Structure 1
Amino acid sequence: MTLLSYPKALNRALADALADDPAVCVLGEDVGAGLAGLTLGLQQRFGADRVVDTPLSEQAFTSAAIGAALVGMRPVIELQIPSLLYLVLEQLANQAHKFSLMTGGQARVPLTVVVPGSGSRSGWAGQHSDHPYSLFAHIGMKTLVPATPGDAYGLLASAIRDDDPVVLFAPAGALAVREDVTAPLVPVPIGRARVHRPGTDVTLVAVGHLVHDALAVAEELAPEISVEVLDPRTLYPLDRAALTASLARTGRLVVADDSNRTSGLAAELLATAAESGRLSAPPLRVTRPDGTVLPFAPALDRALQPSRDALREAVLTAVK
């Protein structure tokens, strides 16, 4: 049995990919030092020509990675702050994502973008705390948000092997999670949700680190309410069949989503549930408020994020 941390799981998945496939390479700022944990020790092991420290220009190294992918490489780029995704949105959404679609599959872009520490950390303030995964799901790029170390390993392994561009968000709130690993780590299929806890009264869908809050609330309410905790893992393509099957068991839905409320993932999940016709009560969502810019003050930061108290209240309301 091995106690595996979330950053170490990502690091191991990337190391395994580099060892297995000479086409895999890494680009990013300070990846040689491995400051975010994703690339720790990899430049020493695989060399600076495969784990490449880049200049401070996200547009430049993202464009270079797209070009490398087009000619047969499988690049992984690291963005240390989620807001940096806004800088490279044109390259990812309008170029990498569309090359295959516009060439009938003749051109492929097997590019993986990893954002270790996405979302809020205590005191990181407005320009460092966004969680824009809904934006990439809306675009139609494969979008992953693993909640556990095992899923972090498995989804990153699958992302690197995928022939399409993939964005993987590693939530800051999950980085401290450790997991007992008793079996070999294996790839996790993209597009397949996971039921962490079965239930019969209400489905609680939670994204990323909120899975752990959902499980805590489910355990707390277990004497009176049977809560099923469903983790999408992949936000696009979304496992709608898993959601529909869960709602067939429970008939009620609460969604915990650490992104802004309007046009967020929670809204898409509620729409999917409504279309399924399986609901016996109005669905509820727990999100950040609209237009949220998280402040520097830790107490204010936490007050604007989904909390266990808010999840508990939503579940109790759903089963009234």
Structure 2
Amino acid sequence: MATALNESVKVQEKSPNILQAINLALTDAMSDDSRVLVLGEDVGDPEGGGIVGITKGLETRFGNRVRSTPISEQAIVGAAIGAAIRGWRPVAEIMLMNFTTVAMDMIVNHAAKLRFMSGGQTSVPITIRTMTGAGRGSGGQHCDYLEAWFAHTAGMKVVAPSNPADAYGLLRSAIDDPDPVLFIENMPSYRAAAWGRSIAPGERVPLGKGLVVREGRDLTIVSYSRMVVEALAAAETLVSQGVEAEVIDLRTVSPWDRELVVASVQQTRRLMIVHEAVTPFGVGAEIAATVGHALFGSLKAPIERIGSAYCPVPFSKPLETAFAPSQGRIVEVAKAMVAS
């Protein structure tokens, strides 16, 4: 019998939010390792620590290991790659995820491939922090989830935390990793009420390991980033209708935890994948194909994928709300799956 909410995902009153957790992770990483440096547009203290203040206080404490850069994504990523090759562990901030496209050559053809091209002699231990997410009325060039682009690139890891403790632990692991990691932050979640485990200073959350954040017997819902919160809310609504949903937070998009997901679906025999990226050609397609192959013939219902509408993110608030997946849509699809 499923628990209403696992102990690990209860709301943590007075705990740091995701914004504060990321700042704490950067502070601890820079304190523990003098090779860690931070660079990006306006990340220094005179500029306020970035557009939302995530790096506030770091320059005052760590001096020139925090560098505000020109407005040039290619310069930011290029400098980070050069520093990494010279032995540093740079954390580069790209102000919005859509702007990673300006530096795609640097990220995909250089950072992701240098270990391979050098026969294993050169690693590029950079972490690229970037932020995105619909819900702020920022329009089509500022809110896209592009994780599938980078997950498709061999040599890259892609991380998307949903709660403060994971944001802290995954960022610490990303900074430690010898290869490039794209760390995706959901802007509407920065100051949301903290939930999940309490932050344990120094803790590393292993990359590539998901977590069952709610147990259930009737279907498995797989998600990451802000959509985990929507999935958990939907699961609570479904309880009153006699449906027990198991919710898995992938935490790392690439590599993703195949074993955990397949084991869960073996028990529930139904799978739904929810992400904020548009549905076509997304991460959900990879997960659906993998599970469909592994469990061919044993599923009780077709695998369902829920994502955003296949269009640019609308500026209009009503259209933006309709664009992204919602708790109501998850409930509707889940009920149809269990009834089939």
Bin of the TM-score, shorter chain as denominator length: over 0.9
For normalisation by structure 2, the TM-score amounts to 0.90
For normalisation by structure 1, the TM-score amounts to 0.96
Q: How does 1:129-144 map to 2 (within 5 A)?
A: 129-140=143-154, 141-144=156-159
Pairwise CA distance, 1:66: 0.2
Are the counterparts in 1 of residues 165 and 200 from structure 2 also a CA contact under 8 Å?
no
Aligned to 1:9: 21
SS at 1:312 equivalent: helix
Work out which of the residue numbers 77, 94, 99 in structure 2 matches 1:84. Answer: 99
Work out which of the residue numbers 58, 74, 77 in structure 2 matches 1:62. Answer: 77
What is the distance in 1 between the residues matched to 2:294 and 2:251? Answer: 20
Aligned to 2:3: none
Whether 2:226 is the aligned partner of 1:209: answer yes
SS at 1:262 equivalent: coil
CA pair 88-182 structure 1, distance change in 2 beyond 3 A: closer
Pairwise CA distance, 1:316: 0.7
Are the counterparts in 2 of residues 232 and 239 from structure 1 also a CA contact under 8 Å?
yes
Aligned to 1:110: 125
Aligned to 1:188: 205
| Aligned-residue RMSD, C-alpha | 1.3
Aligned to 1:283: 303
CA pair 207-289 structure 1, distance change in 2 beyond 3 A: same
SS at 1:170 equivalent: strand
What is the distance in 1 between the residues matched to 2:254 and 2:99? Answer: 20
Are the counterparts in 1 of residues 165 and 199 from structure 2 also a CA contact under 8 Å?
no
What is the distance in 1 between the residues matched to 2:184 and 2:26? Answer: 15
What is the distance in 1 between the residues matched to 2:68 and 2:215? Answer: 45
Structure 2's unaligned 5+ residue stretches are: 1-12
SS at 1:22 equivalent: coil
Aligned to 1:46: 62
Whether 2:277 is the aligned partner of 1:259: answer yes
Are the counterparts in 2 of residues 58 and 88 from structure 1 also a CA contact under 8 Å?
yes
What is the distance in 1 between the residues matched to 2:157 and 2:177? Answer: 10
How far does the alpha carbon of each residue in 1:183-236 deviate from its partner, in whole angstroms, 9 at most, with x for none?
623110000001100111000112210111111111111130110001111110
How far does the alpha carbon of each residue in 1:114-142 deviate from its partner, in whole angstroms, 9 at most, with x for none?
013x1223210011111101111111310
Displacement over 6 Å in runs of 4+: none
Aligned to 1:166: 181
SS at 1:56 equivalent: coil
What is the distance in 2 between the residues matched to 1:304 and 1:265? Answer: 18
Whether 2:235 is the aligned partner of 1:218: answer yes
Aligned to 1:18: 30
Aligned to 1:319: 338
Aligned to 1:37: 53
SS at 2:301 equivalent: coil
What is the distance in 1 between the residues matched to 2:191 and 2:333? Answer: 26
Whether 2:313 is the aligned partner of 1:300: answer no
CA pair 301-183 structure 1, distance change in 2 beyond 3 A: closer
Aligned to 2:7: none
What is the distance in 2 between the residues matched to 1:2 and 1:187? Answer: 22
Are the counterparts in 2 of residues 76 and 111 from structure 1 also a CA contact under 8 Å?
yes
CA pair 155-112 structure 1, distance change in 2 beyond 3 A: same
Are the counterparts in 2 of residues 273 and 279 from structure 1 also a CA contact under 8 Å?
no
Are the counterparts in 1 of residues 136 and 188 from structure 2 also a CA contact under 8 Å?
no
SS at 1:293 equivalent: coil
Are the counterparts in 2 of residues 149 and 178 from structure 1 also a CA contact under 8 Å?
no
SS at 1:282 equivalent: coil
What is the distance in 2 between the residues matched to 1:79 and 1:38? Answer: 12
Structure 1's unaligned 5+ residue stretches are: none
* Paired-residue identity, %: 39
What is the distance in 2 between the residues matched to 1:119 and 1:266? Answer: 17
Pairwise CA distance, 1:258: 0.6
Pairwise CA distance, 1:179: 2.6
SS at 1:4 equivalent: coil
How far does the alpha carbon of each residue in 1:236-290 deviate from its partner, in whole angstroms, 9 at most, with x for none?
0111001101101100011111111211011111111101114221011111122
CA pair 236-164 structure 1, distance change in 2 beyond 3 A: same
Are the counterparts in 1 of residues 98 and 144 from structure 2 also a CA contact under 8 Å?
yes
Pairwise CA distance, 1:37: 3.0
What is the distance in 1 between the residues matched to 2:53 and 2:235? Answer: 31
Are the counterparts in 1 of residues 214 and 246 from structure 2 also a CA contact under 8 Å?
yes
Are the counterparts in 1 of residues 135 and 321 from structure 2 also a CA contact under 8 Å?
no
Aligned to 1:72: 87
